[in-house]
Amino acid sequence: MRTAVIDIGTNSVRMLIAEENHGEIEVIGTGLITSRLGEGIGTQEFLRDQAVERTIEALEEFKKIIGENSVSRVISAATSAVRDAANRDTFLMEVKKRIGWDVRVLSGTEEAEMSYLGAVRGLKKAGINPVVIDIGGGSTEFIWTGERGPEYVSVNIGAVRMTERGYTLPDIREMLGEVIGSTKLKEFGGLIGVGGTATTLAAINQEMTVYDREKIHGYYLPGKDIKKILRELEGMSPEQRKKVPGLQPQRADIIVAGTRILTAVIEGLKIDGITVSETDLMYGLLYRIIEYKM
């Protein structure tokens, strides 16, 4: 059965079209549109009308693509920006009215579980009890396996939120201090990074002029390279960043904040680097659907 998964995030709307083939996921197509639904997330609690309109237009585009690809079912989910918005119900009703989809708003726990499942199952060499870090637009999650299953810590420190509030690396270090100092996080078997910040840094480090998913998935990103990229990006104007190989122009304004978050994590945990995964929350949702034959 061919399935489409839609992820409505703070910074972008993403699409995955795939089907199961003898227990393996065969990717038919993917898509990403930067709609910045969480615009203004640093200063207000409502989803802005223009941001909602951009997001629904992105959903309309994906719906058209889905209709052209013999998809049997569509799973649409929303995360931080929608979950925290005071007008979330208005947004959900508008999507239902114009797109026809019932969007599932994931709780923080569900988002963490799906991100972990997607990252770990999608990597052949995930290591023993790794921690998955998912740097989103509005929040960052740390997820690992505890005695009773997945455990996580979510902090409202994301690439969009930190950009809009103008937080520096020292600010972010201080904000993440308590989380990074957690004993549980120190007892892990490696760090796996998912989300746009991690995959973008992997692309920048390989100077990709054309994004190659195969070269991103499983790529080991040294901490020293992350710090080098941060120094270079901080010295550029937004227009200069748009010309950096591997960096999508739409992410040029928030990549510095995302890189600062990852830098603070690498420094705080005193580790040499991270493994980057292309399989994340969307794949986790897909794996779970297949498991339960939904």
The contacts of residue 225 (CB under 8 Å, 6+ apart) are: 205, 273
> Of 77, 105, 133, which residue constitutes the final position of a domain?
105
Mark out the alpha helices in the chain (DSSP H runs): 49-67, 80-84, 88-98, 108-122, 159-165, 169-180, 183-186, 196-205, 213-216, 223-234, 238-241, 255-269, 281-291
> Of 105, 134, 149, which residue constitutes the final position of a domain?
105
96 and 121 co-located in one domain? no
Q: Which of 49, 14, 227, 245 is nearest to 136 (CA)?
A: 14
Contact 31, 25 (CB under 8 A): no
Rounded to whole angstroms, how far apart are CA atoms 27 and 234?
A: 36
pLDDT of amino acid 294? 41
Helix (H, G, I), strand (E, B) or coil at 166: coil
pLDDT of amino acid 179? 86
156 and 188 co-located in one domain? yes
Residue 123 in any domain: the answer is: yes
pLDDT of amino acid 22? 73
Residue 100 in any domain: the answer is: yes
Kindly report the length of the chain: 294
> Of 79, 105, 131, which residue constitutes the final position of a domain?
105
100 and 133 co-located in one domain? no
Please name the amino acid found at residue 111: E
Q: Which of 207, 260, 264 is nearest to 234 (CA)?
A: 260
Residue 156 in any domain: the answer is: yes
Rounded to whole angstroms, how far apart are CA atoms 87 and 92?
A: 9
Name the residue with tokens 């960096």: 247
pLDDT of amino acid 186? 65
The model carries a pTM of: 0.88
Q: Residue 166 burial by CB count (10 A; 0-12/13-18/19+): exposed, middle or buried?
A: exposed
79 and 117 co-located in one domain? no
Q: Which of 285, 63, 35 is nearest to 137 (CA)?
A: 35
Looking at residue 250, the DSSP 8-state letter turns out to be: G
277 and 158 co-located in one domain? yes
Residue 288 in any domain: the answer is: no
Per-residue pLDDT tens digits of the chain, which is 294 residues long: 899 999 999 999 999 999 987 767 899 999 999 999 999 876 778 999 999 999 999 999 999 999 999 999 999 999 989 998 999 999 999 999 999 999 999 988 888 889 999 998 888 776 778 899 999 988 899 998 877 777 888 888 999 999 999 999 999 999 999 888 875 676 778 899 999 999 999 999 999 999 999 999 999 999 999 999 999 999 999 899 999 999 999 999 999 999 999 999 999 988 999 999 999 999 999 988 877 554
What is the CATH classification number for the domain harbouring 46? 3.30.420.40
Residue 240 in any domain: the answer is: yes
124 and 250 co-located in one domain? yes
Contact 109, 122 (CB under 8 A): no
Domain region containing 39: 2-105
268 and 209 co-located in one domain? yes
209 and 90 co-located in one domain? no
276 and 147 co-located in one domain? yes
248 and 227 co-located in one domain? yes
Rounded to whole angstroms, how far apart are CA atoms 234 and 162?
A: 14
Contact 37, 138 (CB under 8 A): no
Residue 85 in any domain: the answer is: yes
Residue 290 in any domain: the answer is: no
155 and 99 co-located in one domain? no
Residue 32 in any domain: the answer is: yes
Helix (H, G, I), strand (E, B) or coil at 24: strand
265 and 140 co-located in one domain? yes
| Number of compact structural domains in the chain | 2
